[in-house]
Amino acid sequence: MLNGVKRDIPKNLPRFISSDDFLNKSRRLIEKKKKQSKTVFFNSYDEVFDKLKIKDKQTLSFHHHLRNGDKVIQDVSKIIKKLGLKDLHFAPSSIFPSYTNMIDLIFNGNITNIHTNYLNGEVAKIISEGKLKGKLVMNTHGGRARAIESGDLGIDVAFIACPTVDKFGNGTGAIGKNACGTLGYCISDLEYAKKVVLVTDNLVGKLDSYQLNGEYVDGVLVVDSIGEAKGIVSGTTEITKDPVGLKIAKDCSSLLYELDLIKNNFSMQTGAGKTSLAVVNYVKDIMKKQNIIGEFASGGITKSYVDMLEEGLFKKLYDVQCFDLDAVKSFRKNKNHIAMSASEYGNPFVKNSIANKLDFVILGATEIDIDFNVNVTTDSIGYIIGGSGGHADIAKGAKVTIIISPLIKSRIPIIKEKVNTITTPGEDIDILITERGIAINPKRKDLIEKLKTTKIKIYDIKELLEKTHNLTGVPSKIKVSDDIIGYVEYRDGTYIDVLREVHNDYIR
């Protein structure tokens, strides 16, 4: 049956209707866990598995704050292999290329179902090729928090890598040899999982301030290393030198200026790529020249935003995840660098979420179609190469959502008649900025009207599609297999698209 974005969703599964549809539903919350006894200290992963009676078919969750530097999910995977547990449901908030120990577990049926927000690397490749025996569900950061808090995603044991833990089971990411900053993605896991284990490599006597409350923690495992904090670095500290990226960034800043979005007390969020950084720099210049002070910037926080906070250009940073070590340092030292949970960030049922307070967001796209639907999940031949993360959450919440992208990436047009996979519905995308022109979603008549008196030329997105085809020719249609390997779950818990196995012709 077709859903609200005309994708065929199997019967009996919840179909996406519209991004506002959750407003017709009331929030469901299960009770927060109540710890039965005082915090236990374990000596080994084996003991954790033994004492917590972890068994086949259970759901284990993890966060991804250590990103490519994470060792906890790797170590837990090793134990699962050793114990031969079967049919486990893994629910990490994201899966990175370094999580290689999951590969054998997927091939051997130890892990048969996965729930995550973002997926990249070899695990993504084998799942794309149909090696996961069950299903993959890819939801959003805010949607994951909603699912856990409502009981839709029940977690048996949450393994939470935590850079510093005290003797009372309280935890923080601000300090420790592997400090990674905020721990926003695991707050729902902490509060709602049946059992919670903090895994740390830095045990201290008593923490004065902490983000993870020991009240919810069943056990603590002290290990030699939870990973490598250097691996958390995402994005870049260098502004793009790519001329196409620079052109897009410049045009984006001009558009923000003309739309009067850069003004006192405004709020913004961008990605961490080089072009986004160039946009941030242009915005910074405008703010300095016009003595503008913004209310807050949010998201995964990078050095560029830390610098702006320190220069007094923003009053606050709301941070769900530190993207580099400068952000970690800032979070530790600056009281205006504030941690937020994934729920506070983008849960649709949290009315005053940070996503809902954003004036504008600047996001990327792997593909965008003529209905403005965006794909950041699969590549041009259907391999999974990412996922929503917070994309769909902030696209819905922000007053203006802007996609920046070159028209052509590696000779492949990014504008399509229909995207291969819908991650974020077109109704939540307002503006597309490319190096060859800007298109505005026709439903945003207010923005179109506002730009009428400016020099910014607006194209119909179909004109941009034609321009692209003039350069590349019309790409042949992608072949898809009939086999469904998983679903893209919108933030409200409905299915916005299906994920299909990569066609045999493309297996590499």
Partner 1 sequence: MFRSLLFVPGNNPSMLQNADIFMCDAIIFDLEDSVNLDEKDNARNLVETYLLTTKELPKAVILRINPVNSELINDDLKLLETRRIDYVLLPKANKISLFVLDKILNDLENKFELKQTKVICLVEEAKAIIEVYDLAIHERVRGLLLGAEDLTSELEINRTISGEEILYARSKVIYAAISNKIIPIDTPFTDINDTEGLIKDCKKALNLGMKAKTAIHPSQLETINDIFSPSKEAIEWAKALLAKAKTLNKGAFQFEGKMIDRPIIEKAKKIIEKAKLFDLM
Nearer Cβ to partner 1 (36/410): 410
H or E stretch including 294? strand 294-301
Nearer Cβ to partner 1 (241/477): 241
Give the distance, in angstroms, between the CA of residue 411 and the centroid of all CA atoms in the same chain.
27
Kindly state the smallest distance separating residue 501's Cβ from partner 1, in Å: 33
Kindly state the smallest distance separating residue 409's Cβ from partner 1, in Å: 12
Kindly state the smallest distance separating residue 420's Cβ from partner 1, in Å: 24
Is 247 near partner 1 (CB under 8 A)? Answer: yes
Among 84, 205, 243, 312, contact with partner 1 (rule: CB under 8 A): 243
Interacting positions 271-290 with partner 1 (CB under 8 A): none
How many CB atoms neighbour CB 478 within 10 A?
16
Q: Stretches 89-97, 154-162, 239-247, 340-348: which one binds partner 1 (CB under 8 A)? A: 239-247
Kindly state the smallest distance separating residue 470's Cβ from partner 1, in Å: 6
Among 244, 325, 381, 412, contact with partner 1 (rule: CB under 8 A): 244
Locate 88 and state its tokens: 């486990």
Q: Is the dihedral of CA 97, 125, 91, 151 positive or negative?
A: positive
Q: Coil, helix or strand for 125?
A: helix
Nearer Cβ to partner 1 (91/256): 256
Locate 233 and state its tokens: 């670095």
Q: Stretches 213-221, 238-246, 301-309, 332-340: which one binds partner 1 (CB under 8 A)? A: 238-246
Nearer Cβ to partner 1 (428/435): 435
Q: Stretches 225-233, 241-249, 294-302, 318-326: which one binds partner 1 (CB under 8 A)? A: 241-249
Residues with Cβ within 8 Å of 331's Cβ and at least 6 positions away in sequence, in order, are: 173, 174, 181, 182, 301, 319, 322, 337, 339
H or E stretch including 499? strand 495-502
Among 246, 286, 292, 478, contact with partner 1 (rule: CB under 8 A): 246
Site string for partner 1, 340-359 (x = CB under 8 A): --------------------
Residues with Cβ within 8 Å of 133's Cβ and at least 6 positions away in sequence, in order, are: 109, 112
Is 457 near partner 1 (CB under 8 A)? Answer: no
Q: Coil, helix or strand for 162?
A: coil
Site string for partner 1, 154-193 (x = CB under 8 A): ----------------------------------------
Kindly state the smallest distance separating residue 241's Cβ from partner 1, in Å: 6
Place of tokens 């890598």: 161
Integer angstrom CA distances of residue 34 from 55, 206, 327: 22, 22, 33
What gap in Å lies between CA 461 and CA 433, rounded to an integer?
Answer: 10
Interacting positions 437-456 with partner 1 (CB under 8 A): 455
Amino acid at 408: I
Kindly state the smallest distance separating residue 453's Cβ from partner 1, in Å: 14
Task: Provide the 8-state DSSP code for 2.
Answer: B
What gap in Å lies between CA 147 and CA 186, rounded to an integer?
Answer: 13
Is 250 near partner 1 (CB under 8 A)? Answer: yes
Kindly state the smallest distance separating residue 250's Cβ from partner 1, in Å: 7
Among 218, 359, 427, 435, contact with partner 1 (rule: CB under 8 A): 435
Q: Stretches 110-118, 184-192, 237-245, 396-404: which one binds partner 1 (CB under 8 A)? A: 237-245
What gap in Å lies between CA 497 and CA 403, rounded to an integer?
Answer: 20
Nearer Cβ to partner 1 (30/471): 471
Kindly state the smallest distance separating residue 454's Cβ from partner 1, in Å: 12
Kindly state the smallest distance separating residue 286's Cβ from partner 1, in Å: 14
Indicate the Cα dihedral angle 355, 92, 235, 306, nearest 10°: 50
Nearer Cβ to partner 1 (228/258): 258
Site string for partner 1, 381-410 (x = CB under 8 A): ------------------------------
- Parallel, antiparallel or unpaired: strands 171-172 and 164-166: antiparallel
Kindly state the smallest distance separating residue 380's Cβ from partner 1, in Å: 18
Q: Which of 401, 399, 417 is nearest to 461 (CA)?
A: 417
Nearer Cβ to partner 1 (139/434): 434
Work out the angle at residue 504's Cα, subtended by the Cα atoms of residues 5 and 489, and round it to the nearest 5 degrees.
30
Kindly state the smallest distance separating residue 247's Cβ from partner 1, in Å: 6
Burial of residue 420 (number of CB atoms within 10 Å: 0-12, 13-18, 19+): buried
Place of tokens 């969703």: 9
How many CB atoms neighbour CB 26 within 10 A?
8
Kindly state the smallest distance separating residue 244's Cβ from partner 1, in Å: 6
Kindly state the smallest distance separating residue 508's Cβ from partner 1, in Å: 24
Q: How many residues does the chain have?
A: 508
Nearer Cβ to partner 1 (192/282): 282
Size of the site for partner 1 (CB under 8 A): 11
Burial of residue 165 (number of CB atoms within 10 Å: 0-12, 13-18, 19+): buried
Q: Stretches 208-216, 243-251, 297-305, 393-401: which one binds partner 1 (CB under 8 A)? A: 243-251
H or E stretch including 74? helix 72-83
CB 317 within 8 A of CB 176: no
Interacting positions 466-485 with partner 1 (CB under 8 A): 470-471
Give the distance, in angstroms, between the CA of residue 112 and the centroid of all CA atoms in the same chain.
22
Residues that bind partner 1 (CB under 8 A): 241, 243-244, 246-247, 250, 435-436, 455, 470-471
